[in-house]
Amino acid sequence: MNELDEKDFTILDELKKNSKLSEQKIARKTGIPMTTVHNRIKKLRASGLIKKYTIELDYEKMGLPLTAYVLLKTIQGADQKEVLTYISKLPQIYEAAMVTGEFDILFKARIASMDELNKVVVQNIRKKKTVGETRTMISYETIEKI
């Protein structure tokens, strides 16, 4: 796909706010003709820039009011990709990344309680022989940017 222009970014901004909006509503909100909106979205999807449409969840209503970020250091010689894959498959983990710096992996967990966090980090992840050290931070408040 060619470079994105202002119309593309305007359409994408509206879809990020609410991916359920119809092309007609996007056209009305942006002042871009509906045919243009339709064609632009079609091209953005075909190019792979728009991969999927998703939803925003209310984690408190789901019974997962706590968010924790955990830094993890693997032991010397451990396969970091293997550890990252293992962590990313746990149901409480919502995001995991291999990072630079003092630690090797950073992950985000959404949990119901401190007891559940203990089970995930201490009783599950730390017991892996390839995990050396973890540092856990609890989020007081999270603002997710759309």
Which CATH number covers residue 122? Answer: 3.30.70.920
Structure tokens at 131: 């995990």
How many CB atoms lie under 10 A from the CB of residue 115?
9
Q: At residue 146, does pLDDT exceed 90?
A: no
| Domains: count for the chain | 2
**Is residue 15 in some structural domain?**
yes
Structure tokens at 59: 């984690």
Range of the structural domain that residue 115 is part of: 66-138
Average pLDDT over the chain, rounded to an integer: 94
30 and 82 share a domain? no
Q: At residue 123, does pLDDT exceed 70?
A: yes
24 and 77 share a domain? no
73 and 120 share a domain? yes
34 and 70 share a domain? no
| pLDDT on residue 144 | 78
**Is residue 58 in some structural domain?**
no
Run of H or E residues at 44: helix 34-46
| pLDDT on residue 56 | 87
| pLDDT on residue 1 | 56
**Is residue 92 in some structural domain?**
yes
Residue 76: is it exposed, middle or buried by C-beta count within 10 angstroms (0-12/13-18/19+)?
A: exposed
93 and 124 share a domain? yes
**Is residue 105 in some structural domain?**
yes
pLDDT in tens, 82-98: 999 999 999 999 999 99
**Is residue 146 in some structural domain?**
no
